[in-house]
Chain A
Amino acid sequence: MTASSFDPKRVRADFPILSTTVHNQPLVYLDNAATTQKPSAVIERIVDYYTTENSNVHRGVHLLSETATASFEEARMKVKSFIGAAEAAEIIFTRGTTEGINLVASSFVAPRLHEGDEVLITAMEHHSNIVPWQLLCEAKGAHLRVVPIDDRGDVILEELETMLTDRTRIFAFSHVSNALGTVNPVERMIAMAHGRGVPVLVDGAQAVPHIPVDVRALDADFYVFSGHKLFGPTGIGALYGKRSLLEAMPPWQGGGDMILSVTWAKTTFNQIPYRFEAGTPNIAGAIGLGAAIDYVGKVGLRNIAAYEDELLAYGTEKLAAIPGLRMIGTAVKKASVLSFTLEGVHPHDIGTIVDQEGVAIRTGHHCAQPVMERFCVPATARASLAFYNTREDIDALGAALNKVIEVFR
């Protein structure tokens, strides 16, 4: 038995899609940074909701509505416990990470961002943590500033220090990089920002499936993630914000549920979190996310982190042995992601050929074009791990890559 204490072969049985074949080969799913597969527990919980509980929430006095509301709010409590928030009111359900970031940009940063002010991000961000800020800065005449990363894929902390100025209104950065796999020293970076009075938004989309997150220990002002990357359904995510910040924010979208009363003369708004949840929510999605959190809790994030560390080390070593392979993203602390190029072979050709061998990886710019430019590559091939991957999966990737080399030699 390895250092981590769970059996990946046993958990694979929980994921029905993993026994699929593609092109008559067993599926080797290594595209988890794009989206994760779902355990039966999550699939069944969603089916169960629609079969026995489905009703709109917060509005009815009939039993089904009460039941649905209870399940929905219970899911909110699960998210709160999962990331260590102080209270459920600090958890806003969104469509995903992208929407969460846009919400913060619009409702928190916009009112306090004036001409000449600054928004600070890093050079490793996903487009969802770049474009909302570009749009906002352009609208306000503010400056978007970017903390550089080094050749290994780490944020240059000395630069961060000088780039936190008294005009910086927000510092937004990722916990784990989707293109490079870098795990940032979040607590330290937040402390640096707070030392200059700068609030922080952390993009945790690639972190929560792999490492335990405690937003209060990190002292994050805002933390966002997506359900579908956490073995939950698509179309749901969560935004955590400190109560004091959320309470002071104007509404994001207007509509039902986020109001207290509506008249032609005046409309008053609901308390948090509902103020930021206009319209009928993705009820089934939230409940599915709750079930995913339960499932991950049973497996144990510490077990997951330890196991994935070993697997990532195995994968890194295996790929390093492939002639002409260059790993992009070699930070000391990494999670899940193996991004690479192969000399003389375009990533799309890599992707097509390994797909024929049943191996699913992603090729392209991974919604991180600035990262690709930083490393002077048009695109990379990316294998990304989850706890249901095995050494055999890595071996299959290695064999498929050797096939690629065969074709192109």
Chain B
Amino acid sequence: MSGEMRDLYQEIILDHNRNPRNYKKPGDANREAEGYNPLCGDHYKLWLTLDGESIRDFGFDGSGCAISKASASVMGTLIKGKSADEARAMYETFRKLVTGEQKPDIEEAGKMAAFGGVSDFPVRVKCAILAWHAMKGALEGADTVSTE
């Protein structure tokens, strides 16, 4: 397998695709958004439980490619317990990471770094960023988003 392919389909991504974390609706969810890329078929529903400015819980459901599903799963583990502002900042960091605009601090990136390989596959950027875009939408009260 080529180096780039190894970078794209890292073990973290394969793991989160096979066993997505928080793959259900939280009982006390109070924010909801849909992420849908009709051209490629990635389709997810996202829920947040906002407690003031703090993201107390997260959940998602839906189907799509490995990149999009793993991205939603990893994102959930990163934003749970964070504030809405911190989550928005993470969105920016993630966006710059997957578009290749800016490589983040190793520490800052954490598990996000697994998606660094996406920047070599521009066609897949929209897959990686769909859940994050939906999450930002949920914070802002948007209904459905697409990254196509």
Contacts and interface: CB of A to CB of B under 8 A. Distances in A.
Contacts of B64: 346, 348, 378
A403 interface: yes
B40 interface: yes
Given A23-B2, A356-B2, A407-B5, A349 B63 contact: no
B1 A403 contact: yes
A29 to B, nearest CB: 18
A378 B9 CA distance: 21
B106 interface: no
A348 B5 contact: no
A346 B65 contact: yes
A352 interface: yes
Contacts of B66: 345-346, 349, 408
Contacts of A365: 41
A23 B43 CA distance: 30
Interface residue tally on A, bucketed by range = 10 to 19
B41 A352 contact: no
A353 interface: yes
Given A356-B4, A356-B5, A349 B41 contact: no
Given A346-B66, A348-B127, A356-B5, A379 B41 contact: yes
For the residues of B in contact with A, the DSSP-based class is mixed
A379 B18 CA distance: 19
A406 B1 contact: yes
A313 B5 CA distance: 31
B124 A352 contact: yes
Contacts of A347: 41, 65
Interface of A: 23, 344-349, 352-353, 356, 364-365, 378-379, 403, 406-408
22 contacts: A344-B18, A346-B63, A346-B64, A346-B66, A348-B42, A348-B127, A349-B67, A352-B8, A352-B123, A352-B124, A353-B5, A356-B2, A356-B4, A356-B5, A364-B40, A365-B41, A378-B64, A406-B1, A407-B1, A407-B5, A407-B9, A408-B9
Interface of B: 1-2, 4-5, 8-9, 14, 18, 39-43, 63-67, 121, 123-124, 127
Given A345-B66, A346-B63, A365-B41, 16 more contacts: A347-B65, A348-B42, A348-B64, A348-B124, A348-B127, A349-B9, A349-B65, A352-B121, A352-B124, A353-B5, A356-B1, A356-B2, A364-B40, A378-B41, A378-B43, A378-B64
